[in-house]
Amino acid sequence: MNEPKDVHHIVDYKILLKSGAALFALTFLTMIAFWNHHHLGAFAAPIAFLIAGVKAAIVMMFFMGLKYDSTMNRIIFGLGFFFLAVLMAFSALDIWTRVPVLGTI
């Protein structure tokens, strides 16, 4: 793809339709996972997050057009996730390193 700089890429409607279909299919998959969450046990939540993550990636790549965007914009978008990871990592650091109170004097 050799487009002039700053020209907005128009995503082919067939790709948009396929992306939309994939989102509906994944939503249906989420419902199936929910109906079976007692069978999935501890895996229920990670599976739900995984499906949600794939759906978000489809939206970002095709509907938001990040797949065709400049590297700079992709980095800026990724920064949001980086700082989200920072928030979670440091909060987890606090929770995992708390010394449990065993008793009082």
Partner 1 sequence: MAATTHHHNPDVNYINEFKGIGSWLTSLDHKRIGLMYMISVLTFFLFGGIAALGIRLELFSPGQTVMTADQYNQFMTYHGAIMVFMVIVPGIPAILGNFFLPIHVGAKDVAFPRLNLLSWYVFMVGALMGIATLFMHKVDTGWTFYTPYSIKTSGAATMMVVAAFIMGMSSILTGLNFIATVHKLRCPGMTMYRMPLFVWAIYSTAILQLLATPVLGITLLLLAAERILGVGIFDPALGGDPVLFQHFFWFYSHPAVYIMILPAMGVVSELIAAFSRKTIFGYTAIAYSSLGIAAVSFFVWGHHMYVSGQSETAGIVFSFLTMLVGVPTAIKMFNWLATLYRGSISFQSPMLFALGFLFLFMIGGVTGIMLATLAVDVHFHDTYFVVAHFHYVMVGGTLMALMGGFYYWFPKMFGKMYNEGLARVTFVFIFIGFNVTFFPQFILGAMGMPRRYFDYIPAYESLNKISTVGSWLIGIGFLISLYVIIDGLLRGKKAPANPWGAKTLEWQVPSPPPHTNFHHDPVVTAGPYEYR
Site residues (vs partner 1, CB under 8 A): 6, 79-80, 83-84, 86-87, 90-91, 93-99
Pairwise CA distance, residues 44 & 48, whole Å: 6
| Residue 30 near residue 48, CB atoms below 8 Å | yes
Measured from the CB of residue 69, what is the shortest distance to partner 1 in angstroms?
13
Measured from the CB of residue 90, what is the shortest distance to partner 1 in angstroms?
7
Q: Which is nearer to partner 1, 22 or 60 (CB)?
A: 60
CA-to-CA dists, residue 91 to 73, 75, 99, angstroms? 28, 24, 15
**Secondary structure E strands in 1-105:** none
Measured from the CB of residue 99, what is the shortest distance to partner 1 in angstroms?
7
Q: Which is nearer to partner 1, 14 or 101 (CB)?
A: 101
CA-to-CA dists, residue 26 to 6, 34, 48, 88, 98, angstroms? 33, 12, 10, 26, 38
Q: Which is nearer to partner 1, 36 or 70 (CB)?
A: 70
Measured from the CB of residue 78, what is the shortest distance to partner 1 in angstroms?
11
